[in-house]
Structure 1
Amino acid sequence: MNKSMKPPPAQTADLHDFEKTVIQASGKQPVLVDFWADWCAPCHAIAPHLQRVMDEMADRVQLVKVEVDEGENMKLAGRYKLRGFPTIMLFVEGREVARFAGNRASHWIRDWLDQHLPD
């Protein structure tokens, strides 16, 4: 991506639009989902690392954030059997292909995405 161009800000999703915003959208471009909570310190710590990676890789993957404590979003956490936050999941062509939990550095996230994104 051209360094002078900033990617769009991360989208948000909830229980009611997750199917369209994540599952269907991942048929066109891989979607990285950040399941987070406002009370979660590691969730806040990983946010700038995710943004840094998205600044570099926005042409390959889009970021969607789901705040698990908003509305009925905890049902999504249950659906995907999330055990802690943050949990980061990668969806490609409508299905989960990888996940990790906890805070990670930008270089780790970049390497992880390179391993799991389609060529």
Structure 2
Amino acid sequence: MTVNSPEPASSTLATRLRNFSIVLVAVALSVALFLGLRTQATTVSVTDLAKNSTPFEVAMANENPTLIEFYANWCTTCMAMAPEIKKLEQEFDDRVNFVMLNVDNTKWLPEIAKYRVDGIPHFVFLNPNGEAIASAIGEIPGNVLHSNLDALLAEKPLPFTTTKGQMSRFKAPTAPSDSSSSDPRSHGAQVVD
């Protein structure tokens, strides 16, 4: 018969420290995993932005400058810009109206025509009187929007304004033309045989 002798006190202390370290690492990893999953779950969507945006009618009446974004839920550029728009909303909270108008909603057809929306995202900057002072179409860097909003609040000219970029001029003919002499794809250039 063998008799087990008790472990030395230093060995027991080492085992306890090792177990305690394992528990600490497990807790730290669990917290990191939880925070990582939570961060992924809080992505911003254009639908969320639209739900929380200032209603158009309120924006036109409250005498704050306004940024209108014409968007669609299927617009990948609109989706890509959503986190940046959310940051701007948080920074300019209560000083600038952020209005989201869905181009797929026929309710907004008068505004789509008024602001000449022909591409999305389409941003319209309105002064405190509700007058459009500039517009921009497409993916706009956050720092450019930020600078424009700062200027809008200060009632100064916006530093970054664009229309639609390069475009071709077209003048509709008043009478049918001979198709052999011009091609509508030429944008008015003469066709030489």
Quote the offset at 1:65 in angstroms.
Answer: 0.6
Structure 2 gaps of 5+ residues are 1-51, 156-193
Matched residue, 2:58: 21
Is the 2:59–2:97 Cα contact (8 Å) retained in structure 1? no
2:154 partner SS = coil
Q: Deviations over 1:4-63 (max 9, x none)?
A: xxxxx323x4xxxx4x333223x2x11111110122111111121111111111142121
Matched residue, 2:69: 34
Question: What is the TM-score with the length of structure 1 in the denominator?
Answer: 0.74
2:100 partner SS = strand
2:133 maps to 1:108: no
Matches of 1:40 and 1:74, distance apart in 2 = 18
What is the aligned length? 104
- Identify the match of residue 10 of structure 1 among 53, 58, 72: 53
1:33 partner SS = strand
Greater relative contact order (CA < 8 Å, ≥ 6 in sequence): 1
1:65 partner SS = strand
Higher helix share: 2
Matches of 1:65 and 1:41, distance apart in 2 = 16
Cα RMSD (Å): 2.0
Which of 1 and 2 has greater Rg? 2
